[in-house]
Chain A
Amino acid sequence: MGDRPWLGAAIAGAFGVAGLLSLPVASVAQTAASKLLAPPCNTLSDLVSTNPPQLTPVDETNKDKLLTSGLPCAETVQGEGPQGKSRLENFQRGFDFYSWLTFIALNAPADDSEIKNSRPDTRTKWEDMRHFRQLADIMLLGGKAPQWGERRPQEVPAACRRDYKPGMMVTQLIEESFNQPFKTGPLIDQNGNYALFDILLNQQMFDYIVKNKLYSKKEQMRNSALKIDFPAGTNPPSGQTTGGDPGTVMLKVSWKVLDSDKDKERFHNVDALIFIPASEDGKTKEACVRKTLGLIGFHVGHKTKNRLQWIWTSFEHVDNVPEQKDVDARSNLKASYSFYDPACDAAKCPLNATPPRPWRFPDRSLKFPGGFKNQITRVTALTDDTKEINAKFQSILKGTVWANYMLLSTQWPSDFGCSSKTVQNPVPNLPPNTDFEKQPDMNCAPAPAFLANSTLETYSQGSVPQASSSCMGCHGNAVSYQQRPPNAAPDAKLFNQSDFTFTLEKAR
Chain B
Amino acid sequence: MSDDPSDKRSLVVQNANVRVTVTYTRRTLLAGAAAATAVATVGTLSTAPTACAADANSAQDMSDFVKLSEVLTGIMALKLAPAADPIDIKRDYFKLVSEKRPAGFDKLLTIVRDNRNAPAQAIIDKVQSDPDSKFLARSIVLMWYLGAWYDPDDLKMLAEPPPSPREVSHKVISAKAYTQGWVWRVAQTHPMGSSDMQFGYWQRKPNPERPDFIGGA
Contact = CB atoms under 8 A, between A and B. Distances in A.
Interface of A: 79, 86-88, 91, 414-418, 436-443, 445-449, 463-466, 473, 476-479, 493, 495-497
A87 B197 contact: no
Contacts of B188: 439-440
Contact of B84 (A443, A447, A449, A493): A447
B116 interface: no
A445 B82 contact: yes
Interface in B165-198: 175-176, 178-179, 184-185, 188, 190, 193-198
A479 B196 contact: no
A81 to B, nearest CB: 12
Contact of B87 (A79, A436, A445, A493): A445
B184 A79 contact: no
A131 to B, nearest CB: 31
Contacts of A91: 84
Contacts of A449: 86-87
B196 A442 contact: yes
A439 B198 contact: yes
A496 B184 contact: no
Nearest to B87: A449
A57 B52 CA distance: 42
Given A448-B86, A476-B196, A495-B198, 16 more contacts: A88-B84, A91-B84, A415-B82, A439-B198, A440-B196, A440-B213, A441-B197, A449-B86, A449-B87, A464-B175, A466-B179, A466-B194, A466-B195, A477-B199, A479-B199, A496-B200
A497 B198 contact: yes
Contact of B210 (A439, A447, A478, A495): A439
Nearest to A491: B204
Given A87-B84, A465-B175, A437 B193 contact: no
B158 to A, nearest CB: 30
A79 B196 contact: no
B201 A439 contact: yes
Contacts of A476: 196, 198-199
Contacts of B197: 439-442
Contacts of A441: 196-197
A440 B82 contact: no
Contacts of A495: 198, 200
Contact of A445 (B86, B194, B213): B86
Contacts, number: 78
A504 to B, nearest CB: 13
Q: Is the interface of A mostly helix, strand, loop or mixed?
A: loop
B212 interface: yes
B42 interface: no
Given A465-B175, A466-B193, A436 B198 contact: yes
A90 B196 CA distance: 25
B194 A446 contact: no
A466 B197 CA distance: 12
Nearest to B191: A465
A446 B194 CA distance: 14
12 contacts: A87-B84, A414-B84, A417-B217, A439-B198, A441-B196, A442-B197, A443-B196, A445-B86, A445-B87, A449-B86, A465-B176, A495-B200
B85 interface: yes
B83 interface: yes
Contact of A439 (B83, B87, B193, B213): B213
Contacts of B87: 445, 449
B178 to A, nearest CB: 8
B179 A465 contact: yes
Contact of B86 (A88, A437, A464, A466): A88
Q: Looking at A418, A465, A493, which has the most chain B CB atoms within 10 Å of its CB?
A: A465
Nearest to A470: B196
Given A439-B188, A439-B212, A465-B176, A79 B194 contact: no
A478 to B, nearest CB: 8
B47 to A, nearest CB: 19
A440 B86 contact: no
Nearest to A479: B199
B182 to A, nearest CB: 10
Nearest to B59: A86
A479 B185 CA distance: 24
Contact of B190 (A88, A440, A448, A493): A440
Contacts of A447: 84, 86
A494 B103 CA distance: 54
B212 to A, nearest CB: 6
Interface in B152-172: none
B161 to A, nearest CB: 39
Contacts of A463: 176
Contacts of A440: 184-185, 188, 190, 196-197, 212-213
B213 A497 contact: no
Contacts of A477: 199
Contacts of B85: 88, 414
Nearest to B184: A440
A184 to B, nearest CB: 18
B198 A414 contact: no
Contacts of B179: 465-466
B149 to A, nearest CB: 18
A54 to B, nearest CB: 21
Contacts of A465: 175-176, 178-179, 194
Contacts of B212: 418, 438-440
